[in-house]
Structure 1
């Protein structure tokens, strides 16, 4: 059976576009109905070869496309539903049964419509996207090469200049010491020389006097002579001086490089989903879960913390880890029952806590400069820093750790990404080379979390701002609070995000929570539920907010989003 019959399609005449075809002109490669055969043959300028359609033979001059599934077959038909060319083997599989099929060359207008559609997408959407990406890459190159790397070179040159000045000072000091020793040495030799010269003069005078006596007949002179030979035989003592020497210390190249400073590794990651295709118009989609007009306090967990509760992290929807100004990390259920208490390895107060995807607890110890993980109640040190103190930490959706840290001299702050506990990315400066995070010598409160869109969000208390960068570390926005005459200074003391990519930050001094969208636009406050001095925040899998209160030792579970979709 002819594949066209199995496909159950009706092919129409290429001339009249109405009647069913019956014949085929192999010379012109055109399909004809019974009525149009005569009209076609009336053109006597060509030697037409009209045969019944089923008896047609393929014309090697016709460039039928090769089938993508069956490479030894040519496609003579086009499936309008699947928008692909099909061969006879494709038709026999019933995959295109009931679809509207046309001859590849029968209806070029339809194919041109598809081409026009594709061309429009390429010109209006795809090409502008690539051009925009290319422009962004060029801008990034300029910023990196002309600014960031120039800044690095300047810093290295400045460090080199400091060392040159210090070496010059050392060299000048050594030269001064050498000059002083030389002066002392010469003074001793000059003194000894003068003494020898004086003795020599006395000796010469004695010789002269003795010769005068011998040449004289004066008895009185002879009688007055006293020998001084014994005096002159007693030679003066010789001054021995041990000459100083310079003993240069061998240069330890490794220590030399370590003392000079180090460059953090260049981190290059591939983000498969970073670029997004341009759309003709940006459409703002409302949140799937609307915010409640009045947030509700669901439950209060009493931790009994007597030393100022600071941090909270969800192990599950029913269990929370907490830590305060004490050496123990504590796990509670929502009935306020203490399930577990683990003392830090050093006995120090932990800086921050987070829970990994696998359910392990991670905490920072600024005093020992370490990040530690708790597995099966056993503590393992996984990161140890030099010159920097780790303070706040979060576990990302991919299992990385993001750590905020401050230099020992409190002059610098940065965010470092660790993959398998190895440093892979450092975020410290914006595109202009200015610090992203504050260092005001006050405290080290720079709380951190990752948003669903992979933005890195830091609540920088000293700067009174929420600083958000994208995954590559480029600044997206700063939120400095909503202007208000009734509220005090914005003091963000913690930060978290929910399933809608909304950012929640605790305004410590104003006893409230700010809710922002992922682009930093203010959405709402949570300022009821008797919140007092909120210091720690986390979100469970159902988008319930847990708030750790600094003074009361309470952790409050608050519902602020509707569950209605």
Structure 2
């Protein structure tokens, strides 16, 4: 009998079977609409079927977990499917029409559950990648101290015995007393170490219990359990307990004297020094150290003057904040010359301001939410896509709008002007397929990037796009739940799928060190990757006041500009030094 998912140990490996009737092949994919696991063959048939071809089929790791089915106690024929934002309780659709909830705001409970699952995965990742290994490191340090203390104490014994041999007959009794004193001190120190070991063991057991609790939240068996999970947003992991390194005794040699036998063998004293607390590396350092060091970085990356003078700061500092008039959300940012800023919202408003917040221009476009559909060229011109008419427009410094490029059957949804050579990189889609097309400065098509070397499509919805310092094309694809990166020739290099289930990337940019910065709408964080796609850290999190990061870009002074989807403010941060 198979265990329920909530009872499967976190490190267990088990064989997942396709959920299609009479199919027992290995499960690799999951339909989030049907909540059904499926193999590759059944996935292909699912996407060909007219009734299900628009369903969201993802890898099994990226699946959305289904809600437990429970009937409403007030309306027994209805399932509980909504969360009342005002009352913070799960309700059925019929409850939403009653006077108790009149005028309240409701959210799809399954969507809230998915967000909470993502947050729990983040907490599990913190425990597994930082709290638990750091605790194990402390245990190793304590074990090393035990060995060192034993060596020191053995040295004290040897010194005492060496002196005692010269006057053995006179000091046998005193020697015995001194040895007993040493043994008591050693026993006291070892008891201290045992107590510290027990404290760390208790803490590790607490971490393991906490992981089990979080896994329990991932697949609740009833609404009461789910309600508790929804209210656990402020859950804080207890800090690692402090331990100290005991100070070993020092043996002081005495003077040979028949009258004072005790002095012949010296004194054993414990220095009156406050024990030094063991150092616990901070989480930021721990997350940076998780980066693999096996890959050899190319020499041309190391020769950059910028890279020799810049490095990641130990903390992120807020520099300033701007309010953008004429928009009700900041879904994409393009920085122009002389501090000019272009910002778009989710209903097609595209506004240019100066750094004092004064509106300079406002135009209506066909762009919608979550599309990086505008960019500023090296010459300072604004380029923006019109997906309805399938064209790319240019606004020159004289504010004249001209049709620049026609894209045929493909809808252009994202665009980026290369800082390397001025080429335009355009993300497009048609049906359920996406591609990236490169144009030169004159608008001539020079490259199409669509499939990998196995013939598989690289993109579904390339809705944000940027270029790294080495020429890599970095695309944020929220349907694939991945950042897809190819080199300048179009060969697939890697795909980054986040640190937890449900990673949904939005705004993306790169910096002078080749870092990739990308917004995740589910965990409401900004991820920092290195040039090869290795996760370095969560650069910005809700704990830092960033609630809905949707767009990012880096200016010439290496500052990070962040726009949030539910406010018309742009915040600037310093994260490099």
What's the TM-score once normalised by structure 2's chain length?
0.44
Give TM-score scaled by structure 1 length.
0.45
Q: Which has the larger radius of gyration?
A: 1
